[in-house]
Structure 1
Amino acid sequence: MNKLLPIINFTFANKVKTKSFVVTTVIFALLLSIGIHVPYLIQMFSGNEGATSSQIGLVYGNQPEIAASLEAFIDKQPDGKIKLMKYEQANDQALMNDMENGTIKGYLEFGEAEGLQFPKVMYTSKKNSMDLTLQSTLQPALENVKMQYVTRGSSLTEEQIAAISAPVIIEELKAEQAAGTGSAAVANEGSKTAAVNYVIVYGLIVLFFMTNMMTGNMIAAEVTSEKSSRIMEILVTSVSPLTQMFGKILGMFLVGLLQIAIFIAVVAINLALPYNQASLAELNLDLSQMDLSILLVGLIFYILGYFLYATLYAAVGSIVSRTEDLGQAVMPITMLSLAAFYVAMFSLSSPNSLLLKVCSYIPFVSPVTILLRYGAGDATLLEVGLSLLVLIVAIVFFSWLAAKIYRTGVLLYGKRPTMKELRKAMKAYKI
């Protein structure tokens, strides 16, 4: 332990001072900031800042009742995204002038009604397509007005009309849940799979992938760099190769945590800006519905998964003598990390699939698949425990294997050793 701590401190302090670390961190922080501001920038350049409501012209002509119903429905909406400016007749020149000077962004016009058929609705503006925010507001409003128009003269109340026009939402529920403990079980399941829990699962999956790609490659590059510069020959005389390996892994883990903390701070600062608060509020994330057990399981598997991949990166880096050959050498580990990421991302909509159940017990992909099954699916604590046990056994085995490879590889120079040469050299050392 006395020799391990200096290695950890040296690795951490040495890496955070390098230009590559600073430049990479700044670039990722800028990309995150730009990505968060994309919706606002799109609105700003499209002329819809979102801070004020859009003024839309309404030419009612021969349909004053429909226009009045539409105006009444929109006025009742709490968000106030659009306002209507009524025109009795479609005076093309006057409407164009109002669009040119910004009084209105466009105008609605109703065609002739035939019998019970709702009249055709036309929207005219200077753009080729309707703004998505405007469309999402007008569509339900027109549906409601249409229902009132079609059922006019009947004895239906406004509440009944609203109930008829409301879309039907189908919730998925497994048979054993429905036949189990009734509504209490359904309520418990609903709280577990709340939107905020999906965000936690998604964030931890992305976090796991980013950590593997960044810190894993940094570990391999650090080992290869020291080996190619012959510093390794000096280091092994004072510190054992195994202490070096685990010291570098822990040091790089702290480097990765520092980067993650910086990125989280950048995201939090950008989301705290006033014009991003509205977009965040639309997500309807209720932190009171957060399941802390999902966060706990995710962090445990994130840390253990990191150490599994880190030992492999260190072992591969130790058998490469030139940094030019490092990319090709770590490619198999990178492919494993990509496989884990894509399996999880493409299974977000089906967390109880057979593929995920099998992958939950494969150590290289289990850190993200079991998290997805537990956070968004129906994995039990027993399944989580079995997956955790398999992962721990895999870490112990691959740490032992990586230690033997590292102990042998750091002092092998020249061409990359073959499997036969490496196996023969490994037999000479006892771990």
Structure 2
Amino acid sequence: MNKLGTIIGFTYKQKAKTKAFKVTTLILVILMTIGINLPYLISSFTGEEKENSSATRAEVPSIGLVITDPEQQAVGDELKLYTDGLINPVFKLVSYESAEESKLGEDVNDGIIDGYVTLENMEGSASPLATYYSLDGDVSSEVATWLQLAIQNAKTKVIAQNSLTEQQIADISTPVSLITKEMNVENSSSTADTEDSASQGVNYAFVYVLMILFFFSTVMTGNMIASEITAEKSSRIMEILITSVSPLTQMFGKIIGIFLLSLTQIGIFGLTIFANLMLPHNKEMLSSMNIDLTLLNLDVLFYGLLFYIFGYFLYAVLFAAIGSIVSRTEDLGQALTPMTMLSLAAFYIGIFSMGTPNSLLVQISSYVPFTAPTVMILRVGMGEIAVWQIWVSLVILIAAILGFGWLSAKIYRTGVLMYGKRPSVAELRKAMKAFKM
């Protein structure tokens, strides 16, 4: 046990000090930081344009007011009082004493006003006829709507000023407010459905992240384990190590050491994500998105981590076995191709089945040891599954780890002593019998 701990510590420290590990971790941390803060960075770079657009919006258009009929003077006066009293006006009115078109046209061309509106008598009615003039003969819908409301308000005050009080006139002019509220009906499932939908969204994101994490960590650490063993074997250091430490202790020491290194890297990534999300601008973004991590299903978290750990060890023992039968690091990539394809299959089945978590393919794959780590996470998080099915899959996975672990240990003990070209299955079996493995 002491030798196992020594190998675990040595493997962990040796790999953690390598330039490749440090550079890879640093690059990924920088990419995560940039990715999380990208919306804020974009808004910062375009901040000047936003300020300019805000300033432009703050400069409301000026509209000339021309009273062509004296009978509409009272409406014009009320209209001017109303618009001047607005806190956030959409436009401002500039009164003109005469309707001299040359003067009005000159002011429009000079940018003093954007256009002008005339008030004249409407035939057969006391209501004013308002006409808006501009260079292009058009007006924005916002200005048109507010101008109509303002004229309507002024007209109402003029007509009702002798028969209604100021309060009654104010009440008539005040628009009706429409308030929306959620129905509070007993036995209503709307609230529950909303919570289920939000919980499903959080679970979906967590399952997606776990599957990506499992695939990349399995491939990266698996290659690291195999390359470590192959490098020691090709440099003949293995012949020295095998005299002091048993091959089985070496294999599991390297697997556990690199697993702890992988957890360290994942921890660094987790702290990076957490630190960036806690920045003020990102906290505001999260609050606006209404993301509530308390809605995460604890079963997804528990079983997800359980299948992640056991799935890692299943792939790790096989990567170690393959690394032990390769004598040159140049041949390692080709030898690891089947394992890479197997991990890709597990990843793709999980990712492309997220929309159909209860399909027959998913159900069958959840009991296959090589695909169970990703597919079972999907079924727990997104599908409908009984607890006994989860534990059956877990038992099969553990049995596969023990079985392949025993086989990998025998291959490892034999493979580390074989040099030259990569041995075939028949040659391995013959060597195992010769070494009585």
What TM-score, normalized to structure 2? Answer: 0.68
Aligned to 1:381: 387
Using a 3 Å threshold, how does the CA distance of structure 1 residues 407 and 54 change in structure 2: closer, same or farther?
Answer: farther
Any gaps of 5 or more consecutive residues in structure 2?
64-87, 95-107, 115-138, 145-175
Q: Distance in 1 between matches of 2:314 and 2:211?
A: 16
Q: How far has the Cα of 1:421 moved from its partner? A: 1.0
Give the 3 Å change call, closer, same or farther, for CA 267–111 of structure 1 in structure 2. closer
Query: 1:299 aligns to what?
Result: 305
Q: How much does 1:323 deviate?
A: 1.1
Contact 1:319–1:410 at 8 Å: present in 2 too? yes
State yes or no: 1:5 paired with 2:13. Answer: no
Change (3 A) 1:50 1:430: farther
**Contact 2:91 2:143 (C-alpha < 8 Å) held by counterparts:** no
Counterpart amino acid of residue 347 in structure 1: S
CA separation of 1:338/1:84 partners in 2, compared to 1, >3 Å: closer, same or farther? farther
- State how 1:17-416 maps to structure 2 within 5 Å: 17-47=17-47, 57=57, 86=91, 109-110=140-141, 158=178, 190=196, 193-416=199-422
Contact 1:294–1:374 (CA<8 Å) still a contact in 2?
yes
Conserved in 1, the CA contact under 8 Å of 2:299 and 2:380? no
CA contact (8 A) 1:245 1:314 kept: yes
Of the three residues 415, 430, 435, the one matched with 1:424 is 430
Q: Distance in 2 between matches of 1:56 and 1:355?
A: 58
3-state secondary structure, aligned to 2:244: coil
Q: Which runs of 5+ in 1 are unaligned?
A: 62-82, 98-107, 114-155, 164-180
Whether the aligned pair in 2 keeps the contact of 1:16 and 1:255 (CA below 8 Å) is yes
**CA distance, structure 2, for counterparts of residue 24 and residue 111 of structure 1:** 54
Which one-letter code corresponds to 1:8 in the other structure? I
Provide the rounded CA distance (Å) in 1 between the counterparts of 2:20 and 2:320: 19
Kindly provide the amino acid, as one letter, of the partner of residue 29 in structure 1.
V
Q: Is the 8 A contact 2:221 2:262 kept in 1?
A: yes
Shift of the 290–54 alpha-carbon distance from structure 1 to 2, 3 Å rule, reads farther
Query: Whole-Å Cα distance in 1 between the matches of residues 110 and 411 of structure 2?
Result: 81
- Once the two structures are TM-superposed, the CA of residue 360 in structure 1 deviates from its matched residue by 0.6
Q: Deviation at 1:395?
A: 1.0
- Structure 2 residue matching 1:415: 3-state secondary structure: coil
* C-alpha distance in structure 2 between counterparts of 1:286 and 1:349, whole Å: 22
Write the deviation string for residues 172-196 of structure 1: whole angstroms up to 9, x where unpaired: xxxxxxxxx9969x66992894332
Compare 245-254 and 289-298 and name the one that shifted more.
289-298
Q: CA deviation at 1:3?
A: 1.8
Aligned-residue Cα RMSD (Å) equals 3.6
Partners of 1:50 and 1:291 lie apart in 2 by 41
Residue-pair matches, total: 338
Normalized per residue, which structure has more helix? 2
The 10-residue stretch of structure 1 (365-374 or 44-53) with the greater mean CA deviation from structure 2: 44-53
Separation in 1 of the partners of 2:330 and 2:92? 71
What displacement does 1:9 show? Answer: 1.0
- C-alpha displacement of 1:85: 5.2
Q: Which is further off, 335-344 or 241-250?
A: 335-344
How far does the alpha carbon of each residue in 1:187-226 deviate from its partner, in whole angstroms, 9 at most, with x for none? 6992894332223222211221121122111101110110
Offset of residue 28 of structure 1: 1.2
Helix, strand or coil for the counterpart of 1:236? helix
Distance 2:286 2:189 in 1: 31
SS where residue 322 of structure 2 aligns?
A: helix
Contact 2:90/2:143 (8 A) holds in 1? no
Q: Any idea what the Cα deviations from partners look like across 1:330-375, whole Å, max 9, x if unmatched?
A: 1111111122222222222222222211211111111111111111
Tell me by how many angstroms 1:326 deviates.
1.2
The answer for the alignment partner of 2:148 in structure 1 is none
Q: TM-score, structure 1 length as denominator?
A: 0.69
Q: Pick which of 383-392 and 417-426 moved more.
A: 417-426
Question: 1:133 matched to which residue of 2?
Answer: none
Shift of 1:29: 1.0
Compute the displacement of 1:278 (Å).
2.2
| Separation of aligned partners in 1, 2:250 and 2:109 | 79
Instruction: State which structure, 1 or 2, has the greater radius of gyration over its C-alpha atoms.
Output: 2
SS state of the match for residue 350, structure 1? coil
Aligned-residue identity in percent: 53
